[in-house]
Amino acid sequence: MSRRGWMLFALMSVLWGIPYLMIKVAVESVSVPMVVFARTALGAIILLPLAVRAGRLDLVRRHWRPLLLFTAVEILGPWALLSDAENRLTSSMTGLLIAAVPIIGVLLARLAGDAERLGPVRWAGLLVGLAGVGVLAGPHLGGGSAWAIGEVMLVALGYSIAPVIATRRLQDLPSLHMAAFALAIAALVYTGPAIATWPETMPSGRVLVALVALGLVCTALAFIVFFELIREVGTSRGMVFTYVNPAVAVAAGVVFLDEPLTGTITASFVLILGGSILATAHRSPEPAPTSDTPAPQPASAAEPASEH
């Protein structure tokens, strides 16, 4: 991977690893609809003009139904559930639970009749990853956090379904248009609820910074960097940054919010991330007959798979 590719990869790992921290700060003072509205509206303000300037709006009109479905399972439901869950869960725990998305994606593909056979390694990855989720969530299921954990798992389910919709129904729609119009639709949906729950007093500077960062940095800038990363290194290799996001989420929570770094969190981190990598690993193709001089391999060979 080129130096530019590594820089984009590192930047994406941070940009989509810190939203959990920002959400945790924002929900201290403003409502869940306000958090979602601020994030989607600011993101749409940046991305929508770029999409309009790029043209091809006829594709958006042609795919409006699957685009609405994608928006519902990727943004409308998940971002509200995630924000509500962080009223009761730490940002680091939330980020780790979301790391189960690749595992859920593999299970959904299997239930949907995916023809790809799951070998022993991938089955082991599923079991290890699910064990990690159990280790992390188990101690909290008897208390008030059980509902919040359920919300986060619904978010992970939505994040697992959305790529399937994008792959099967929105292949012709450019990624920039998909992101821009999905954010715009979500902002319109949450305008009314945001107005109804508008804070009576001006939130603190800390909360305002978190809201602006969520919209401009973690959403608008993150999508732009994401498109550049995919263009630079390809989809499968670029998406490996999703394995780094949970580490960033945990580190940000510990450093900036004084959240505890317990043995349970460390063990679940290892299990969930290790399970995700194993569960989404593709079998190596059968080796071709070799000669004295091995043939050069393309840059995209043996790229790891990934998720959202």
Structure confidence by residue, pLDDT tens digits, 112-141? 766 556 678 878 887 888 888 888 877 666
pLDDT at 105 over 90: no
C-alpha distances out from residue 135 to 52, 72, 100, Å: 46, 30, 13
- Rg (the chain; Cα; Å): 20
Q: What is the rounded average pLDDT of the residues 99-106?
A: 80
Pick from 278, 276, 33, 268: nearest CA to 149: 268
The reported pLDDT for the residue numbered 10 is 86
Higher pLDDT pick, 4 / 47: 47
Pick from 187, 195, 163, 132: nearest CA to 69: 163
Q: How deeply is 284 buried, as exposed, middle or buried, from its count of CB atoms within 10 A (0-12, 13-18, 19+)?
A: exposed
Q: What is the rounded average pLDDT of the residues 50-67?
A: 94
The reported pLDDT for the residue numbered 305 is 34
Higher pLDDT pick, 304 / 115: 115
C-alpha distances out from residue 281 to 45, 64, 121, 139, Å: 37, 33, 8, 30
Pick from 136, 105, 154, 152: nearest CA to 279: 105
Q: What is the rounded average pLDDT of the residues 167-186?
A: 92
Alpha-carbon distance 203 to 25, whole Å? 11
pLDDT at 30 over 60: yes
User: What SS3 state is found at 172?
Assistant: coil
Alpha-carbon distance 152 to 157, whole Å? 9
- What single letter denotes the amino acid at residue 278? L
Q: 264 phi and psi, to 5 degrees?
A: -65, -45
- Whole-number percent of the chain with pLDDT over 90: 45
Higher pLDDT pick, 66 / 241: 66
The reported pLDDT for the residue numbered 203 is 93
Taking the model in full, what pTM does it have?
Answer: 0.83
Under DSSP, the state recorded for 242 is G
- Whole-number percent of the chain with pLDDT over 70: 84
pLDDT band at 238 (very low <50, low <70, confident <90, very high): low
Alpha-carbon distance 226 to 237, whole Å? 12
pLDDT at 27 over 50: yes
Higher pLDDT pick, 136 / 189: 189
Q: What is the rounded average pLDDT of the residues 220-229?
A: 88
Q: What is the rounded average pLDDT of the residues 151-164?
A: 90
pLDDT at 298 over 60: no
Q: CB count, 10 Å around CB of 164?
A: 15
Alpha-carbon distance 126 to 130, whole Å? 6
Alpha-carbon distance 223 to 206, whole Å? 24
The reported pLDDT for the residue numbered 176 is 92
Which pairs from 158-161 meet CB under 8 Å and 24+ separation? 158/73, 158/74, 158/77, 158/78, 159/74, 159/78, 159/98, 159/101, 159/307, 159/308, 160/101, 160/104, 160/105, 160/108, 160/307, 160/308, 161/73, 161/108
| Mean pLDDT (the chain, rounded) | 84
Alpha-carbon distance 79 to 102, whole Å? 18
Of 68-82, 118-132, 207-221, the range with the lowest mean pLDDT is 118-132
pLDDT at 296 over 60: no
Q: What is the rounded average pLDDT of the residues 75-95?
A: 93
pLDDT band at 262 (very low <50, low <70, confident <90, very high): confident
Q: What is the rounded average pLDDT of the residues 99-116?
A: 74
